[in-house]
Chain A
Amino acid sequence: MWNWFHKLASPPHFYRIASAFEPWLLWLAIACMLTGAYGGLVLAPADHVQGDGFRIIYVHVPAAFLSMFSYALMAVASGIGLIWRMKLAFSVAAATAPVGAAFTFLALVTGAIWGQPMWGSYWEWDPRLTSELILLFLFLGYIFLRQALAETRQADRASGILALVGVVNLPIIHYSVEWWNSIHQGPSLIKLEAPSITTDMLWPLLAMIIGYQLLFLAILMTSVRTQVLQREQNARWITEQLGTENIHG
Chain B
Amino acid sequence: MDTTSYSLEWQDLTLWRGERCLQQGLKGKLASGQAITLKGPNGCGKTTLLRTLCGLSQPETGKVLWQGKQIHKIRNKFHAHLAYSGHNNGLKRDLSTRENLRFAARLRGRHTNQNELLNGLRLTACADLPVRNLSAGQQRRASLALILGSGAEFWVLDEPFTNLDRSGCEWLARRCNDHLGMGGLLLTAGHQDSLLNPERETIIELAGAN
Residues of A bordering B, CB below 8 Å: 150-153, 230-231, 233-234
Contacts and interface: CB of A to CB of B under 8 A. Distances in A.
Contacts of A231: 19
Contacts of B17: 151
Interface residues of B, number: 5
5 contacts: A152-B19, A230-B19, A231-B19, A234-B19, A234-B21
B210 to A, nearest CB: 11
Binding site secondary structure of chain B: strand
Interface in B4-24: 16-19, 21
Interface in B50-92: none
B21 A151 contact: no
Contacts of A150: 18
A150 B17 CA distance: 10
Interface in B82-121: none
Contacts of B18: 150-152
Interface string B19-58: 1010000000000000000000000000000000000000
B21 A153 contact: no
Contacts of A234: 19, 21
A233 B21 CA distance: 11
A230 B18 CA distance: 11
Contacts of A153: 16
B60 to A, nearest CB: 8
A95 B17 CA distance: 22
A158 B89 CA distance: 25
A152 B20 CA distance: 11
A48 B21 CA distance: 65
A234 B60 CA distance: 15
A205 B18 CA distance: 45
Nearest to B16: A153
Contacts of A152: 18-19
Contacts of B19: 152, 230-231, 233-234
A188 B20 CA distance: 61
Most buried by A among B16, B17, B18, B19: B19
Nearest to B20: A234
A122 B205 CA distance: 67
A231 B21 CA distance: 12
A152 B21 CA distance: 13
A234 B19 CA distance: 9
Nearest to A154: B18
B138 to A, nearest CB: 33
A150 B16 CA distance: 13
Contacts of A230: 19
A181 to B, nearest CB: 45
A122 B78 CA distance: 60
B63 to A, nearest CB: 13
A122 to B, nearest CB: 44
B181 to A, nearest CB: 40
A130 B195 CA distance: 66
A67 to B, nearest CB: 31
B79 to A, nearest CB: 21
B24 to A, nearest CB: 11
A231 B16 CA distance: 12
B21 to A, nearest CB: 7
Which A-B residue pairs are the 4 nearest by beta carbons? A151-B18, A150-B18, A233-B19, A234-B21
